[in-house]
Structure 1
Amino acid sequence: MKSIPHDPPGEPNPLRALSLDQLRCRTSMKWRTYPDDVLPLWVAEMDVPLAEPVVRAVMDAVARGDTGYPAGTAYAEALAGFAQKRWGWGGIAVERTAIVPDVMLGIVEALKLLTGPGDAVVVNSPVYPPFYQFVEHMDRRVEEAPLGADLRIDLDVLEAAFRRSVMGGRRAAYLLCSPHNPTGTVHTAGELAAVAALAGRHGLRVVADEIHAPLLASGVEFVPYLSVPGAENGLSLMSASKAWNLAGLKAALAVAGPEAAADLARMPEEVSHGPSHVGVIAHTAALRDGTAWLDALLAGLDDNRRLLAALLAEHLPAIACRPGDATYLAWLDCRALGLGDDPAAVFLERGRVALNSGIPFGTGGAGHARLNLATSPELITEAVRRMAAALA
Structure 2
Amino acid sequence: MPAFSLEPSQTARCAELRALAADRLRPLAEKGEPGRVNRPLVAELGRLGLLERLFTSGALDLCLMRESLAHACTEAETALALQGLGAHPVHAHGTPAQRDRWLPAVGEGSAVAAFALSEPGAGSDAAALGLRAEGEGEGNGGPSPAGPPSNPSRTAGPVAESDGSARWRLTGDKCWISNAPEADFYTVFARTTPGAGARGVTAFLVPADRPGLTGTALDMLSPHPIGALAFDAVPVSADDVLGEVDRGFRVAMGTLNLFRPSVGAFAVGMAQAALDATLAHTSRRDAFGGKLRDLQSVAHTVAEMALRTDAARLMVYAAATAYDEGAPDVPKRAAMAKLLATETAQYVVDTAVQLHGARALQRGHLLEHLYREVRAPRIYEGASEVQRGIIAKELYADLEVS
TM-score, normalised via structure 2 length: 0.26
TM-score, normalised via structure 1 length: 0.27
**More helix per residue: 1 or 2?**
2
**Larger CA Rg, structure 1 vs 2:** 2
